[in-house]
């Protein structure tokens, strides 16, 4: 299944112009009127014309490259996802081009446009925390670009998706805190518009309900940039610590939020878990050696990347249009360590 890249010939035919006129218009030649240039450029942009020699290889399905969009590669979750993607892609003879959105919608759109102009055969994408419109992706999919979502997905586009059981992961984590005797459990999460945030928030709330604990909206804090902005996390932590009834436990929903919250609590001389227990979603390899060791919900990041790539390549290599899609939900794993253990005694 190939992503349709139009040519100068296509533009000339549709606009009833000569190939020479279109070519000169695209080069901004003085020989062509401004009105004609405007018509040609608008049509070219609207229909994804790529003025580079790789366009022909893409049209024939021979570029053997796939594009990847993640928020940031220094996040251990995403770096492990990329490892899985590279493993699967390389095993099938494909190369990968990796870009970072840094949780910016504008940069996500820019990256996607850049990747399509590099003549990729397909796109793997985890949406930024600012993304509340996927029109840029709908347009490309309509033109034939195979797209697979992972982690943060959109319900507006029919395609393969690979996620984890965010609801169950947050539910199990919150129930663990309840079973340990914590009753004032706060939740620091990311942008309210992402699929991951809503699913984990639902799991947190359901566990509180099942545990007979009233939901306190003051205990729920949003960090719109998913931990990229330390000030947002700092504000959330300080607002929780300023409450008349401070939380006795915090569930953090994103990798960077988890490790930053741990550091901020240490900085404010909050004893973990004696004053406040901490449990978070994180794939950090240092969870065992942190002080105290960190109870965490871990995601199968490598498998997410590998599976998403496998599904994308199945679309790319299909001889017929793919019309049936699957959402793969992988399990999370809860690791219990000292940061939620009421009997924990720090080394003297």
The CATH topology of domain 54-164+301-330 is Rossmann fold (3.40.50)
CA distance 252 to 227: 10
Comparing CA positions, the residue from 161, 230, 235 lying closest to residue 199 is: 161
SS (H, E, C) 177-243: HHHCCCCCEEEEECCCCCHHHHHHHHHHHHHHHHCCCCCCHHHEEECCCCCCCHHHHHHHHHHHHCC
Distances (CA, A) of 209 to 50, 131, 202, 216, 311: 54, 30, 11, 11, 37
Q: Where are the domains of the chain?
A: 1-30, 54-164+301-330, 166-300+334-340
Q: Which pLDDT score is estimated for 45?
A: 83
SS (H, E, C) 279-324: EEECCCCCCCCCCCCCEEEECCHHHHHHHHHHHHHHHHCCCCCCCC
Per-residue model confidence as pLDDT tens for the chain (348 residues): 555 567 888 898 999 999 889 888 888 888 889 999 999 999 988 887 866 544 444 444 557 999 999 999 989 999 999 999 999 999 999 999 999 999 999 999 999 999 998 789 999 999 999 999 999 999 999 988 999 999 999 999 999 999 999 999 999 999 999 999 999 999 999 999 999 999 999 999 999 999 999 999 999 999 999 888 999 999 999 999 999 999 999 999 999 999 999 999 999 999 999 999 999 999 998 999 998 999 999 999 999 999 999 999 999 998 888 999 999 999 999 999 999 998 988 764
Distances (CA, A) of 68 to 85, 143, 308: 9, 18, 11
Query: Which uninterrupted H or E stretch holds 329?
Result: strand 327-330
User: What region does 12 belong to: left with phi over 0, alpha with psi -120 to 50, or beta?
Assistant: alpha
b/e map 26-40, b = 16+ CB within 10 Å: beeeeebeeebbebb
CA distance 186 to 210: 16
One fold for 54-164+301-330 and 166-300+334-340: yes
Q: Is residue 24 reached through a cis peptide bond, with omega within 30 degrees of 0 on the bond before it? A: no
CA distance 39 to 36: 5
Q: Which pLDDT score is estimated for 4?
A: 58
Architecture of the 166-300+334-340 domain: 3-Layer(aba) Sandwich (3.40)
Distances (CA, A) of 207 to 148, 220, 276, 307: 31, 14, 19, 30
Q: Which pLDDT score is estimated for 282?
A: 95
Whole-structure pTM value: 0.82
Q: Which pLDDT score is estimated for 217?
A: 97
What burial class does residue 279 get, using C-beta atoms within 10 Å of its C-beta: 0-12 exposed, 13-18 middle, 19+ buried? Answer: buried
């Amino acid at each position: 299944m190939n992503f349709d890249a139009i040519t100068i010939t296509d533009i000339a035919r549709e606009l009833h112009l000569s190939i020479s006129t279109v070519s000169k218009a695209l080069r901004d030649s003085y020989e062509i009127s401004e009105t004609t240039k405007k018509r040609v450029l608008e049509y070219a942009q609207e229909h994804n014309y790529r003025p580079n020699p790789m366009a022909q290889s893409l049209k024939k399905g021979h570029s053997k490259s796939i594009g990847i969009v993640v928020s940031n590669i220094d996040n251990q979750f995403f770096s492990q996802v990329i490892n899985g993607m590279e493993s699967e892609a390389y095993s099938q003879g494909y190369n990968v081009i990796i870009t970072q959105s840094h949780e910016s919608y504008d940069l996500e759109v820019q990256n996607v446009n850049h990747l399509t102009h590099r003549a990729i055969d397909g796109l793997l994408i985890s949406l930024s925390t600012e993304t509340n419109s996927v029109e840029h992706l709908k347009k490309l999919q309509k033109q034939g670009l195979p797209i697979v979502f992972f982690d943060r997905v959109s319900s507006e586009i029919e395609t393969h998706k690979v996620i984890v059981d965010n609801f169950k992961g947050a539910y199990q984590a919150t129930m663990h805190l309840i079973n340990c005797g914590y009753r004032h459990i706060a939740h620091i999460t990311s942008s309210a518009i992402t699929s991951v945030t809503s699913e984990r928030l639902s799991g947190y709330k359901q566990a509180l309900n099942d545990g007979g604990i009233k939901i306190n909206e003051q205990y729920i804090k949003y960090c719109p940039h998913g931990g990229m902005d330390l000030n947002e996390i700092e504000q959330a932590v300080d607002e929780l610590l300023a409450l008349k009834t401070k939380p006795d436990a915090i569930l953090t929903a994103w990798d960077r939020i988890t490790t930053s919250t741990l550091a901020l609590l240490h900085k404010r001389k909050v004893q973990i878990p004696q004053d406040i227990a901490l449990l978070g979603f994180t794939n950090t390899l240092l969870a065992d050696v942190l002080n105290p060791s960190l109870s965490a919900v871990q995601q199968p990041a490598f498998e997410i990347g590998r599976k998403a790539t496998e599904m994308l390549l199945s679309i790319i290599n299909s001889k017929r249009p793919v019309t049936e899609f699957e959402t793969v939900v992988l399990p999370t794993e809860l690791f219990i360590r000292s940061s939620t253990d009421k009997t924990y005694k720090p080394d003297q």
